[in-house]
Structure 1
């Protein structure tokens, strides 16, 4: 049964059962906290949590997903794949456990001729949550499963949560028995390789709070509307129905693997290492194709970096199979043909998708050719010298100069039995980022001799077209790397590019440089900075994100329009705030510096004292009144003397030539010399919100403001916060300060009472802990984990009390407790135990070695903390062993 047919049978079945069939959401997640759609439930989270009312009572879908956390495991197991498809059926306050179980069982076990999936009932097992008697009973009644094929599991396996307070619930998982050739009998609890999970039914019925870990939380009630969330792994069902060993051998993946086998001349199944490489190629090519189809393109950041890494791992795997020429035309075409039945877009948009894929491979093959030789030499040199670690500067040289990815350096070094000094590499990368992407002034390259620019400046001034155009066609005049004219720069390199014309604004007058790109035939450059290293010449600091750029190539500068528009708003707002300051404080408030970028402005001025709240409000109101009045913004180019005669205010730190550009907002009210970009009328600035006023040195003050949508969002957030507080505290907003002060006082009093209560509760545990003492040699030992504890002081007090309770006989008390994400440990000994050689300072180190922490203390009392809570039993056993051998 083909994969597409399995999916269609699923959707047809649920459509017959009154489910709305929902199209797959994009692989690019709407959730800003994650790059991709990583699970079938992601698009439905707003409905499951009740944040958004569900538009249908029941639904079913086939959702595309991408996970790359275990990318290194791809190809090594039957389970790990980056792209996968999840079938799901959903109920939002409609049917519940009985319906979900009935639907799943009927679809799985109905014959293929009746539209089902045709699984034999004897091969299916289920697990339920340990306390879910209802689900266990339903499985027996609906499916007729014997009790021994219904296994109960704990929270770690069969209870679903988001990891946050809110909706949660028990799960029931359906497993397929692959037979004795795959492992031991006894169900999923015994061997989850033989017994393969194919479908998970989540019964979202509970509300949880006080979430401490995946398994530690409080179930505080039941949800008023119970939901069903299920997920059936399409690839897993496919390889079971197709009678193959793993997902890589299914009909949607195997064609790529077979094509790679043909190209390499090596047979799949003949060699384990080659098989892993074949599976990597098959998985990564398909994943790359699907990411491209959802609009992701290769780059060095975010989603684009993940795509680039998948594609480059594929190229690398083909090279390890002996193929050094381009293979993507064949491999991607094979994946297209395998996937087009389910996703027609991979065929209809083939021209675009293949162009990106083929160009990426071509570029990377050039990178590999140069980088591999250098890396192989470095590896041989390291091994010859007896070293076990490749130097970090070698790895950085490969990355920075040749664009060789650190991921491949790590893999190749590992294959050669070497590590890589990743700390040194990361430190060098951080230095580079600081040079390339920090504040504009700090990221300018320090070049003492500007003569390198002479030949380019001799060609004439760089023409700035950005006042009227956001795109400009031009040509490359020069390329510099590390301050030297090289004539070209390759992918991954940071370079300076000199152009004849540019629409990209170079930082000046307080306005930061434009964001944008420079593109040309076969290359793309990300603009990191734009500066004027010498008068009349513009230099673009770029990262080559694709291809190779060289002198005399055509180029098009493309300004990030949204960022430019927001920067213009901020720059014009700076002029308005300056004029408002002068209106309010007088002409003595002269400019001492400014910075404006998208959504934000900072303005420094000479003034000897802090501004009162009333003065700040007045300045803000004057500036916003100017916005309301929709004043015309005009620019004129005239002589410096004419501009000064007209009353223009010169900007701090700027040098002016014989002719200047004068910007008026509302005529003479705001008249400044300025080379920056501006809005056409003041109303385009939008809202101006002063958010800060501070000292920046003797007789200098600074105001900061948010502008436009950023200002609106900030005020809207404050309004929402006030509304939330007034609602929660049932207090008018005018009375909020007094009410919050009252609550703060009450909270402090309550915290004291709680601390006293916890101390009493701990004290009440002393008799039971002392009663649990065990005899080890000559010593009475209390070694216990007491669970959650407020602080180390509480644990230490408890240990001292238990030690005293044990009397004069040799006694050792070892207690652990969890506080936040730390595991606290205390060891206390009495005088008689110390006489027997049991010393607290030594024993606490024994404990903390197992807990992944450090500590120490005196012979009678010692303490410390670790992070590995799972190792507490082993740590306590280590103390017992130490006392036995004493």
Structure 2
């Protein structure tokens, strides 16, 4: 019985019994907490949990599923598959245990001629939850099963929940006895290899809470609506009905295995290791086909990474079978033909699916060619040194330089009897991610040696269409990865893309590069930077986020419109600020550099002194008046000489050809040579707020400003602060500066008085400290805590006073204090103490160690500190201990 026929019989059976037939949901789960649909019940969770009313009372489906937790078991057992299909029937508050058991038994044991599956009743066993007397009774009543074929199991096996508070209930599993050749008699409780589970009936009837583990939770009562959730593994039923050994040999999978056998020239069944590889290939190719059909594409993250891993494991398994060339055109075609009866999309969408599959294999074969050699050498060297683990840096080199996946490195190492220093590898990966984030943030990446651009520049200049268009169709002229020309770049890689035309602005004239994307058939590229590595040529640094891009492909550059609009406003605002500066300061205030990006501008100019507050206000007012007047912005392309005659200002550091682009704002008032993008009228800028003016050299100044919404937000924040101050200080806004200055002066005077008071108070403690001197061997020692002190200098001054008043006999003074929340210890030793071996620096270090900090200094006076004020007594005790031990 074909697999597709089994599925159809299942659906027909339940449709006859008034179930709505629901199509399979995508393998890509709509639940954000999981990547894939990992079980048949996933699409029904909202109904089972009661979050969403079910649109039907009873339903049936055949659901596509992907599980990757057991990926290492694939090929080793009869049951583990990455892609599988789960047949299920569902009741939402309709029938319960009796109905579920009756429908299942009728389908399983019904004659094939009547649409049933034709299982012999004597081959079927069931398990029930140990306390579920009702289910046991119903199995006897409906199926006539004897007690010995109804086995009771505990929560570990026969109680279902999501693992979270919510619906739960006992379940009953149906097993098929494969016969004595497969193990011991005695039912599933004895041997679950001989007795293979084919169907699980979940009786969802309780609400649970305080879930501590799979078997430890609190039942809080019965659900208001009892549900039925069943799952029958299609592949398991198929390998039993088809009389084959495992799921890899059923009609939907075996053709791939057979094609791998043909390509390798090895026989299936001759060697265990080869058999495992054949089964891995059969499973992974089918799984990859189905993932591609549901829109997943190979990448280095998330679902795409799982797909890439499956495909690359298949490639490597074929290599271990002796096949070095491309095999996906044969293997995927075989899987397509085996699956198209059940899933026609694999045939109708074959062009797209095959494009991704074949390109991924081609890319990985190149990776293997370089990476395998390096890994083999690493394995040999590791063994020669007697080590049992490949180093983290070696594994990282394979991953980072050669694209060799860490999972594959782990597998190859394990086969060679070695491990991998995964902790060191992960640390290097973390460092790389940190660097990558910094690169992305700055949007700066090193461009390749300019000579590699020659072949691309030979096609002519890159046409920039972004003055009028935010989206332009073009063609990929070239690709660079790590500065080397390549034919294609895959998801996860950073590359440079050369297009014939682009709407994306390349950084120049102070304006930063556009944000945006480049998209094409089956690929998406996130634009990280746009530069002109050689005159006339635009290079886009991108991260391939989806699919694979190749030379010669059509590609559309798409500008981030919001970012461009704000960057354009900032660039036009820079011209206004420049003109306002010249109006205010005169023609000698010439431009020395600029930067403008969305919401922000920075302008450097030649000037030898700081701008007064009044001058800054005047410049800001002139620029904003120009915004208010909505000056017309015009651009002209004309000869350089003519532009200079018209008085156009040239941008700092910019090189110009014979023909230039001149931008006028308000006619000659602002006239500059500029290749940047600009607003059509100055009112589009919105607002300019100068936020700082500073020195950037002996004769250069810098002004910075916020533009548009960013300027408004800044001013709104300042207004809120002023309002708060006027309310708190009960002072009118125009009197705030004087009031704050008055308060600052009062505070400063008060601080001086407090400091003087503390110093005097410390000096008043001099007699008590003198009296506290105690003997420590031949030394007299004072080791006391002062409490709070104004400064460390006060503590030092007092320590020296005490030392000097103790006279010529050997004496050491150690005083501790809390100085603004930080512990300080000062140690002073007189000449006689130093001669006896007491060194203030060493003693200060001992005290600082107790404070969790450091210290040191000269032999006569030294200081230590730390972070723990409460440890001051321990620090002083450490000084005494050190002296007593000397």
Please indicate, yes or no, whether the TM-score normalized by the shorter chain is above 0.5.
yes
State how far apart, in whole Å, the 1-side matches of 2:139 and 2:356 are.
Answer: 50
Whole-Å separation in 1 of the counterparts to 2:673 and 2:222: 67
Equivalent position of 1:358 in the other structure: 358
Q: Is the 8 A contact 1:252 1:339 kept in 2?
A: yes
- What's the CA shift string for 1:106-147, capped at 9, x where partnerless? 111222222211222222222222332222222222222233
Shift of 1:412: 1.8
Contact in 1 for aligned 2:25/2:64 (Cα 8 Å): yes
| Distance (whole Å) between structure 2 residues aligned to residue 538 and residue 67 of structure 1 | 44
Equivalent in 556, 560, 565 of residue 564 of structure 1: 560
Once the two structures are superposed, residues 631-659 of structure 1 have per-residue CA deviations (whole angstroms, 9 ceiling, x without a partner) of 9998867999xx9xxxxxxx9x9999998
Cα deviation 1:694-730 (Å, max 9, x = unaligned): 99x9999999999xxxxxxxxxxxxxxxxxxxxxxxx
CA 1:146–1:567 in 2, change beyond 3 Å: closer, same or farther?
farther
Q: How many residues align?
A: 654
Q: Decide whether aligned partners of structure 1 residues 85 and 542 sit closer, same or farther in structure 2, where only a CA change above 3 A counts.
A: same
1:474–1:502 contact (8 Å) kept in structure 2: no
Does the 8 A contact of 1:440 with 1:513 survive in 2? no
Instruction: Give the structure 2 partner of residue 339 of structure 1.
Output: 339
Measured against aligned partners, the alpha-carbon deviations of 1:370-392 in whole angstroms (never above 9, x if no partner) come to 32223223322322332322233
Please report how far the alpha carbon of residue 70 of structure 1 lies from its aligned counterpart in structure 2 after TM superposition. Answer: 1.7
Kindly state the Cα deviation for residue 81 of structure 1 after the two structures are TM-superposed: 0.6
**How far apart, in 2, do the equivalents of 1:679 and 1:293 lie?**
45
Instruction: Check conservation: 2:633, 2:679, Cα contact below 8 A.
Output: no
Distance change >3 Å, CA 449–CA 198, structure 1 → 2 = closer
Q: In the alignment, is residue 398 of structure 1 matched against residue 394 of structure 2?
A: no
Inter-CA distance 603–194: structure 2 relative to 1 (3 Å threshold)? farther
Partner of 1:208 in structure 2?
208
> Which residue of 1 is the match for residue 303 of structure 2?
303
Is residue 2:163 matched to residue 1:163? yes
Counterpart of 1:773 in structure 2 is none
Q: Which residue of structure 1 lines up, in the alignment, with residue 126 of structure 2?
A: 126
Tell me which residue corresponds to 1:479.
480
| 2:530 alignment partner in structure 1 | 530
Superposition pairs for residues 119-198 of structure 1, below 5 Å? 119-198=119-198
Query: Against the structure 1 CA distance between its residues 324 and 538, is the aligned structure 2 distance closer, same or farther, given a 3 Å change threshold?
Result: same
Q: Distance in 2 between matches of 1:679 and 1:153?
A: 75
The residue aligned with 2:517 is 516
**1:735-787 deviations in whole A, cap 9, x for unaligned?**
xxxxxxxxxxxxxxxxxxxxxxxxxxxxxxxxxxxxxxxxxxxxxxxxxxxxx
Provide TM-score, normalisation by structure 1: 0.63
Alignment deviations for residues 168-208 of structure 1 (CA, whole Å, 9 cap, x no partner): 22222112222333233333233222222111111222222
| Kept after mapping to 1: 8 A contact 2:601/2:704 | no
Deviation at 1:547, TM superposition (A): 6.9
| Kept in 1: contact 2:47–2:54 (CA 8 A) | yes
Within 5 A, what are the aligned runs for 1:467-506? 467=467, 468-474=469-475, 476=477, 479=480, 481=482, 494-499=494-499, 501-506=501-506
Supply the distance in 2 between the matched residues of 1:480 and 1:334 (Cα, whole angstroms): 34
Residue 138 to residue 547, structure 1, CA distance change in 2 (3 Å): closer
SS in 2 for 1:199: strand
- Provide Cα deviations, 1:310-359, integer angstroms capped at 9, x if missing partner: 12211111111111222222222221222122122222333332333223
Q: Helix, strand or coil for the counterpart of 2:515? A: coil
Q: Cα gap change, 1:147/1:523 in structure 2, threshold over 3 Å: closer, same or farther? A: closer
The alignment partner of 2:59 has SS state of strand
Structure 1 counterpart of 2:81: 81
Separation (CA, whole Å) in 1 of partners of 2:37 and 2:219: 28
CA distance in 1, matches of 2:357, 2:601: 47
Report the CA distance between 1:441 and its aligned residue. 4.3
Secondary structure at the aligned position of 1:269 is classed as: coil
C-alpha separation in 1, matches of 2:183 and 2:661: 82
Cα distance in 2 for residues equivalent to 1:663 and 1:13:
78
Partner of 1:60: 60
Q: Equivalent residue for 1:440?
A: 440
Q: Could you say if the C-alpha distance between residues 703 and 638 of structure 1 is closer, same or farther in structure 2, counting changes exceeding 3 Å?
A: closer
RMSD of equivalent CA atoms: 5.1
Are residue 290 (structure 1) and residue 286 (structure 2) matched? no
**Mapping for residues 493-642 of structure 1, pairs under 5 Å:** 494-499=494-499, 501-506=501-506, 513-517=514-518, 527-531=527-531, 538-543=538-543, 554=552, 556-559=554-557, 564-565=560-561, 567=563
Q: Distance in 2 between matches of 1:456 and 1:163?
A: 58
User: In the alignment, which residue of structure 1 is the partner of 2:264?
Assistant: 264
Runs of 5+ in structure 2 lacking a partner?
575-593, 604-627, 644-650, 666-670, 696-702, 711-886
**1:456 touches 1:478 (CA, 8 Å); kept in 2?**
no
Query: CA 1:9/1:323 → structure 2, altered by over 3 Å: closer, same or farther?
Result: same
The question of whether the paired residues in 2 share the 8 Å contact of 1:14 and 1:60 is answered with: yes
Counterpart of 2:225? Answer: 225
Unaligned residue ranges in structure 1 (runs of 5+): 579-591, 606-625, 644-650, 665-670, 689-693, 707-886
Kept after mapping to 2: 8 A contact 1:268/1:274: yes
Is 1:418 matched with 2:414?
no
Aligned residue for 2:579? none
Residue 734 of structure 1 corresponds to which residue in structure 2?
none
Residue 555 of structure 1 and its aligned partner are, at CA, apart by 5.7
Is the CA contact 2:600–2:707 (under 8 Å) kept in the aligned structure 1? yes
Structure 1 residue 84, shift from structure 2 partner: 0.3
Contact 1:518 1:527 in 2 (8 A): no
Question: Equivalents in 2 of 1:633, 1:91: separation in Å?
Answer: 69
Q: 1:571 to 1:314 in 2, by over 3 A?
A: same
**Equivalent residue of 2:230, what SS?**
strand
Contact 1:401 1:493 in 2 (8 A): no
Q: Structure 1 residue 244: deviation in Å?
A: 1.5
Q: Provide the secondary structure at the position in 2 that maps to 1:440.
A: helix
